[in-house]
């Protein structure tokens, strides 16, 4: 009987400890919704790539962590396959200039890149309205930019 009580106590303790972390995650491992591109919030930044983030379970598309004069900011590019197909790759230490919409994402400022310039070459990701280039002609603008 004592073993059953101990097992029940451990199970309840595990529930109390694990429940907050499980409930804090989106259901089914869902990704956070990307804010819409807003041309009125467009900014230009320059800086050094600190880190390149590739897609994983909670993130789609390639992201850059760019160290600017004002601090670190996450730059959302687009699908990694599109970036590669356009002949671009990014690495820590690259100097970049980014034009894009400054948004709040996950409680922190981020930039949805419209274009990124590296080594004098420009990667065009979105048109001036923010419509992703990879979406193709006639495609509806997606709810999520990434």
39-94 tens-digit pLDDT: 999 999 999 999 999 876 555 789 999 999 999 999 999 998 899 999 999 999 99
CATH number at residue 45: 2.40.50.140
CB 41, CB 63: distance < 8 Å: no
Is the model's pTM score more than 0.85?
no
Q: How far apart are CA 64 and CA 8, in angstroms?
A: 47
Task: Report if residue 129 sits inside a domain.
Answer: yes
Full domain range(s) for residue 116: 39-135
- Distance, in Å, from the CA atom of 94 to the CA atom of 98, rounded to the nearest integer, reads 12
Q: How many structural domains are present in the chain?
A: 1
pLDDT tens, 45-59? 999 999 999 876 555
Containing H/E element for 30? none
Residue 23 lies in a domain: no
Answer whether residue 87 is part of any domain: yes
Q: Is residue 20 part of a domain?
A: no
């Amino acid at each position: 009987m004592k073993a059953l009580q101990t097992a029940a106590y451990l199970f309840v303790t595990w529930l109390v400890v694990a429940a907050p972390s499980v409930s804090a995650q989106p259901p089914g491992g869902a990704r956070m919704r990307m804010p819409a591109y807003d041309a009125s919030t467009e900014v230009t930044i320059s800086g050094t790539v600190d880190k390149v983030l590739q897609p994983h379970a909670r993130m789609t598309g390639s992201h850059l962590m760019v160290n600017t004069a004002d601090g670190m900011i996450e730059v959302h590019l687009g699908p990694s396959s599109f970036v590669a197909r356009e002949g671009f790759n990014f690495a820590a230490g690259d100097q970049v200039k980014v034009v894009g919409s400054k948004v709040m994402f996950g409680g922190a400022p981020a930039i949805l890149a419209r274009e990124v310039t590296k080594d004098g070459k420009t990667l065009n990701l979105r048109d001036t309205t923010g419509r992703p280039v990879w979406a193709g002609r006639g495609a509806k603008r997606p709810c999520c930019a990434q």
